[in-house]
Structure 1
Amino acid sequence: MSLLTDPAASRALLLGLVGGDLDDDDIAERHARALWSGICEPGDGDAGSLVAEFGAATALALVEGNDEPAVATVEGFDRRRAHDALARWRPRLAPAALAAGLDSARRVGARLVVPGDAAWPAHLDDLGRHGPLCLWVRGALTPPAGPAVAVVGARAATSYGEHVAMEIAADLAGSGIRIVSGAAYGIDGAAHRAALSAGGVTDALLAGGVDRAYPTGHSDLLARITRTGAVMSEVMCGSAPTKWRFLSRNRLIAALSDATVVVEAGWRSGSLNTAAHAASLGRSLGAVPGPVTSPASAGCHRLLREFDARCITGAADVREMLGLDDDLLPGADDWVDQATALRDALSTRSWRRVDDVARRCGQSVADVERGLGLMLLDGRAQHGPGGWRLVVTGR
């Protein structure tokens, strides 16, 4: 029996996963793309070429019918390549398992997003035939209003690496730049947490299905991310994260971002794979230098030396790499910026509430809250029952 039986059945299987105002052809195409996410591996260029040639629904029917001659008509294919591709995909044509994946997505409140949808990230189209056929999304995936930066690095990060990652991510997120990472322990987790603490938006790309938190120790962090940003994957719910899928996932992190910053990475770190994808896509690439004696920074030094990465020492370097200037007060020259005005509005002795600080520095309450979050992370401000006050540091 065909996996795409009839429009009514497809519509029932996609209930809650897509909008309800789609016509039968759109439903069939989305259903097929959802099934492809459980049939082919991420980045499978043969699947991408077949779907681009025939559409997802017709391409799926060719696989179900084992139609090797038709598959072989795709540009760049021959009978041998068609045979090998069908041999990869056909063992996964398991209706019960694929239906279970859709049910899992529904249970966790995931949405199916496909190319052409308003929420589809156009940056992913740069991946061509190796791009994702769909995205499974938990949270708020919205078209970016500004640039996005990937902040990635080692799982076994040092305290230096985590500190720098948090400084950079919090500063960028607090100024409205979206932070993208992979939700792993170490640098990824530090970047996500800092972005959230600064009141910014951050997105996480997973190597397995969005129905399972990975790593499990970051289940709370992933739940926090979905409140303002998105947790995404290109593989169907129920899919396990594997080494290959982690490497393939990295191309999505690079593609979704306007720049990639590697904070800490060993000589053979997977973060270098993300950097390679960023470079191949023409995205800006930066690396944070570390102690020359630290193996955890050897990969960053390699990027700086061999791959022409920009040297990143703080968020200002990332903004420069993106071609952005520091935010200035409306109507002001470069002699004063928002952070300076915010510091001047705080007292070292008296606690002041956010609305009072906003009046004193001439900024909106939302901007003040973001700025105070950054100062709290940096140890320059304290928050208590009476509001906020300035901390005098030795810096």
Structure 2
Amino acid sequence: MGRAGSGTGTGAAGSGTGAGGAGLGTGAGGHDEERLARAALTRLTEPGDEVVGRWLRELGAPALVRGLVGDGPAPKGARSERLAGCRARAASLDPAGDLAAVARLGGRFVCPGEPEWPTQLDDLGDARPLGLWVRGPADLRLWALRSVAVVGARACSDYGSHVAALLGAGLAERGWVVVSGAAYGVDGAAHRGALAAGGATAAVLACGVDVPYPRGHAQLLDRIAEQGLVLAELPPGGHPTRSRFVLRNRVIAALTRGTVVVEAEYRSGSLVTARRARALGRHTMGIPGPVTSGLSAGVHELLREGATLVTDADEVAELVGAMGELAPERRGPAVPRDLLAPEAAAVLDAVPGPGGDTARIALNAGLSRDTTLGRLYELHGLGFVARRGDRWRPVARASTSVPSKPLGRRPPMRRGGS
């Protein structure tokens, strides 16, 4: 792998010499230097730091680690405060131990450039993850190719929870991977919907993959790890913070084909996810709600900004899916009157409520008497009108037995012949 793509660690600081307590010697613990260095960086630095991303691109991962912990030249422009913080963290740095810890969970550490790496994350540029800690048996890259994010309010309403669960189940049934953040509210409902449908779901955490956060979702996270994927930028044991939740959202946005927001107030992390998705060229969608609800205000604002209004999994799949994945046509229930030919419908409209003779009905319909009479007999046969003497009146409830093709379009009968 070249240095520009993933940083090979053949930079100025040397290769395979170790970095003090960092343990970056080639082959340490059975891992190559690049993997150890990237694992170390996930503990030394914060997720989404574009400055670190630029240094990584310029120096390579092993050289950058050495520079940050004081075993090599410091990165250009690094402030003393940043270096001091990294060196304080380096005191407990054990990347080989972190890799062993995730392996004991049945997980792994996926680096850019590897076969399992989702290349759409490269759209984040220097803010792309240094690597991803992953639990679960599925292939992350393949799952991400057909994935949709479903996000929204933590303190959602019953409506929001119900819609999120339906979306999760519906998308899973259509072969889509449901991605969310495992939080209370909309996130949890979307994950549960996908799991209940026997489908695929992935949780992107703002902490280590071994940290059950929120605590109330410990069992849910275990189920996701068994049936789907749990992934994070932070190493095992990493704890969540407010800023890490915000930074986590960029991964959800970049990883998926589109983001659906189900209930969100004006200040909501889910709106951050959707707007980041839009900036990355992904589809952004919103589920409308009551205009009187503050939980719908953020979604409605997102729709005003140009997001697509969707109401169910079919409409989401139509937007983000391949050609031909169309939502069914939405129409109101068909009634017998809908199937009438235009002339027959015009005659039926022209029949007065109290009833009227053929001449008056023809005048009201703007048709000839003969044409009107023919249509009246058709309507009589279908149960739309009744006749008494020379007068016709509408019937309150027509027969439901209506031909599938409109009436009144057959050629006229010839006079005097067959």
SS in 1 for 2:113: coil
Q: Which amino acid aligns with 2:310?
A: I
1:311 alignment partner in structure 2: 309
How much does 1:62 deviate?
1.7
Residue-pair matches, total: 307
Aligned to 2:117: 120
Mapped pair 1:201 → 2:205? no
How do 1:195-344 residues align onto structure 2 when only pairs under 5 Å count?
195-305=194-304, 307-324=305-322
**Of 127, 132, 143, the match for 1:130:** 127
Is this contact kept in 2: 1:203–1:230, CA < 8 A?
Answer: yes
The unaligned stretches of length 5 or more in structure 2 are 1-19, 330-418
Which residue number in structure 1 is paired with residue 395 of structure 2?
none
**Distance apart, 1:95 and its partner CA:** 3.4
Return the alpha-carbon distance in structure 2 between the equivalents of residues 103 and 260 of structure 1.
Answer: 34
The one-letter amino acid of 1:309's match is: A
Residues 81-136 of structure 1 show CA distances to partners (whole Å, capped at 9, x for unaligned) of 55454344232112356666445424423211101221111111111110101110
Tell me the amino acid that sits aligned with residue 313 of structure 2. A
**Aligned match for 1:110, one of 79, 89, 107:** 107
C-alpha separation in 2, matches of 1:141 and 1:38: 25
* 1:71 paired residue among 64, 72, 75: 75
Q: SS of 2:306's equivalent? A: coil
1:53-92 superposed matches below 5 A: 53-65=58-70, 71-72=75-76, 79=77, 81-83=78-80, 85-92=82-89
Alignment pair present for 1:4 and 2:23: yes
Structure 2 counterpart of 1:189: 188
| 1:213 match: secondary structure | coil
Query: What RMSD, in angstroms, separates the aligned Cα atoms of the two structures?
Result: 2.2
CA distance in structure 2 between the aligned counterparts of 1:325 and 1:198, rounded to whole angstroms: 25
Give me the whole-angstrom Cα distance separating, in 2, the residues matched to 1:116 and 1:325. Answer: 29
Secondary structure of residue in 2 paired with 1:205: strand
- RCO (CA 8 Å, sep 6+): is it higher in 1 or 2? 1
Deviation of the 1:267 alpha carbon: 1.4
* Aligned residue number for residue 362 of structure 1: none
Q: Letter of the 2:61 partner, please give it.
A: A
Q: Is the 8 Å Cα contact of residues 171 and 315 (structure 1) preserved in structure 2?
A: yes
* Identical-pair percentage: 47
Q: 2:135, 2:225 within 8 Å by CA — same for their partners in 1?
A: yes
Query: Kindly tell me: are residues 280 and 327 of structure 1, through their superposed partners in 2, closer, same or farther at Cα, counting changes over 3 Å?
Result: closer
Task: Give 1:169's aligned amino acid.
Answer: G
Structure 1's 155 and 37: CA in aligned 2 closer, same or farther, altered over 3 A?
A: same
Superposed, 1:16-55 pairs within 5 Å as 27-55=32-60
Distance 1:266 1:41 in 2: 27
Q: What TM-score do you get using the length of structure 1 for normalisation? A: 0.73
Q: Is the 8 A contact 2:21 2:90 kept in 1?
A: no
Relative to the length of structure 2, the TM-score reads 0.69
| Structure 1: gaps (5+ residues) | 15-26, 73-78, 329-333, 336-395
Counterparts of 2:117 and 2:27, CA distance in 1: 25
Q: Displacement, 1:141? A: 3.8
